Structure 1
Amino acid sequence: MGGPNQSSISEFLLLGLSRQPQQQQLLFLLFLTMYLATVLGNLLIILAISTDSRLHTPMYFFLSNLSFVDICFSSTTVPKVLANHMFGSQAISFSGCLTQMYFVFMFVDMDNFLLAVMAYDRFVAICHPLHYTAKMTPQLCALLVAGSWVVANLNVLLHTLLIARLSFCADNVIPHFFCDATPILRLSCSDTYLNEMMILTEGALIMIAPFVCILASYLCIICAVLRVPSTRGWWKAFSTCGSHLAVVSLFYGTIIAVYFNPVSSHSAEKDTAATVLYTVVTPMLNPCIYSLRNRDLKAALRKHLNKSFLLTVLTFYLSSGFNFV
């Protein structure tokens, strides 16, 4: 008797975002620009936080981890899209497809958990400011991040193994730009009921539990802020949370639209548009959202960029001087 997967296909074909040559050229340039902006923006945030001692606090520790996850998140999908366009290939092996799906969902879960942890950090900072240092210790921060990695990997491993046991008989065309669970389940010629139920139950629990924690944290924050008599105090408290709320709204809105509906109710066009938002656009926007609304981070970024610019000018001047000798 064969293994658990009786698939007769060895690879899938990723159709990408468009079949029109002109649109493909435009989308290639767009994806390349967004990917470079994502990597550069998030690397700058990590560099600024790691080099500025004033930013060595729990909030920025979680933000640097979020930036690292966003770089990895985009790197699991966009480079493959760009490579397929450059080499004129749409193929991805069966094992490669499962591997890509594994890492995509692991980083989705990590974004999910880190957003919840950051909401808890803001709750402690605003509602219990006198006990903030005692509560948010470096050990607790490291434990929260490490625990998120463990739970994310275990959750994704479950769903990957459930998909690996399915059979794929003939159709291997995925109308998507990466290996996503929903279009893969549509291609299976075996019963996907268990997969769908696990996505709608266990997968939903993994996504909803942190979301509930975020809502509870912000309800407590709102109640605490409303007790402050100063309007300036209200603005200061809400301004520290505005960036996080913007990222939360964009992230969860697209995730819920794609995954927490029956497979039969999905359409390829809507799913693709929504997944582009949370896999490509959101990681690119996160550095902008956080840096534009954060005075300390903007100052650290400006200081680092000024140093880099001066170093570039000095290097150019010295090299030019040596050339004149």
Structure 2
Amino acid sequence: MLSQNSTSSLNDTYVRPLGFYITGFSNIPYIEYYCVLLSAVYILTVIANSFIILIICVEQRLHTPKYVAVFHVAVVDVCASTTIIPKLIETLILGSQFINYETCLAHMYFVFFFICLQSFSLVILAYDRLIAICFPLQYHVINTNTRMGVVVAVVWVFTTVAVIVLVLLVHRLSFCKSTVITSFFCDHGPVYHLACNDTFPNFIMARISMTIGLFAPLILITLSYVCIIFALLKTATADGRCKAFKTCTSHLMLVAIYYIPLLATYIQSMVSETNSNTRILNYLLSASIPPLLNPIIYSLKTEEIMESFKRLYRRNRIFQAK
């Protein structure tokens, strides 16, 4: 009997709200124009990434480890945009700021899951360039389609486990304070700060997640390019170095587009107090613009993609002529 009462008393200390109110955009002027912009960005993102996915699936010559990685980037970008933008547009158009508790945690999981995958996708591309430049003769032996698939699968499993731990630690919290989230989604930091019991494990997990999802991939990418530069310095001719490094330009542009806005926002928040609306807009732009630009960069900067598109276009015209 005592054990049952003790368990009941323990359960009573945990307060689960029916849901939360997301108020990140409540005080931003001209929000309807921003909603139109987001809608256009989302539609173009889906079209551009679907184009990359279609080209890689249809064109046999692109069934290589490099384009397995590019295919993965395109899929993750579509999923990340779909997780964030449609829900935000629905909130802005319908004015419904309430989200129930379970949906909030599920949304938190998927947003952080795909944001982490975006970082690791860039690491996978860096790994491919590292093998191609540092071990050119062994590239097709070391980096096969199967091994690239295994690398992608390991990244998905690792990210799944890390983000599940992050969300489960939120589920242990008791919310007896405000239920208002000052963000554009069920953001981990604003949510756990609303709790009234011990949030230290959440604080630690937030720092670990930021290290795993942001800084560790950036360090790995930087180290890979240090190795690439040393390998290129051993190349006999300047022309050879230039041609080899040219194959990295698309990837470097993706890294810059993804990391510079995030790092700028993070550093600014550490140096000075940032207006909440400014922080929200910066984070949203950082989450929505790179998935749009990534396929455009790969289409314009990668000869194989453009050649494959031309072949597919000519094939389609011949088929229609018949």
TM range (shorter): 0.7 to 0.9
- Corresponding position of 1:294: 302
Correspondent of 1:190 among 194, 197, 212:
197
1:179/1:71 CA distance change after superposition, 3 Å: same
Q: C-alpha separation between the residues in 2 aligned to 1:301 and 1:167?
A: 54
Identity between Structure 1 and Structure 2 (%): 35
Q: C-alpha separation between the residues in 2 aligned to 1:35 and 1:306?
A: 29
- My pick for the range that moved more, 236-245 or 38-47, is 236-245
CA-to-partner distance for each residue in 1:151-203, whole Å, 9 max, x for gaps? 00000001001111112224222222211112213322333222112222354
| TM-aligned CA deviation for residue 222 of structure 1 | 0.8
Q: C-alpha separation between the residues in 1 aligned to 2:152 and 2:130?
A: 17
| TM-aligned CA deviation for residue 237 of structure 1 | 1.8
CA-to-partner distance for each residue in 1:247-280, whole Å, 9 max, x for gaps? 2233233444566978x96652343133213321
Correspondent of 1:15 among 2, 12, 23:
23
1:113/1:3 CA distance change after superposition, 3 Å: farther
Correspondent of 2:233 among 209, 223, 226:
226
SS of the equivalent of 1:76 reads: helix
Q: C-alpha separation between the residues in 1 aligned to 2:99 and 2:301?
A: 40
AA paired with 1:165? Answer: R
1:4/1:203 CA distance change after superposition, 3 Å: farther
Could you list the runs of 5+ residues in structure 2 that have no partner in the other structure? Answer: 1-7
Correspondent of 2:289 among 277, 281, 290:
281
Could you list the runs of 5+ residues in structure 1 that have no partner in the other structure? Answer: 316-325
SS of the equivalent of 2:21 reads: strand
Q: C-alpha separation between the residues in 2 aligned to 1:23 and 1:286?
A: 28
- Corresponding position of 1:96: 103
Number of residue pairs aligned between Structure 1 and Structure 2: 311
Q: Give the conservation status (yes or no) of the 8 Å contact 1:15–1:177.
A: yes
Correspondent of 1:65 among 54, 72, 79:
72
- Corresponding position of 1:321: none
1:5/1:63 CA distance change after superposition, 3 Å: farther
RMSD: 2.6
Q: C-alpha separation between the residues in 1 aligned to 2:175 and 2:95?
A: 24
Q: How does 1:110-129 map to 2 (within 5 A)?
A: 110-129=117-136
| TM-aligned CA deviation for residue 110 of structure 1 | 1.3
TM-score by length of 2: 0.87
Q: C-alpha separation between the residues in 1 aligned to 2:264 and 2:200?
A: 20
- Corresponding position of 2:260: 253
SS of the equivalent of 1:130 reads: coil
Q: C-alpha separation between the residues in 2 aligned to 1:61 and 1:166?
A: 40
Correspondent of 1:79 among 62, 86, 92:
86
Q: C-alpha separation between the residues in 2 aligned to 1:222 and 1:96?
A: 46
| TM-aligned CA deviation for residue 143 of structure 1 | 0.8
Correspondent of 1:268 among 265, 276, 279:
276
AA paired with 1:162? Answer: L
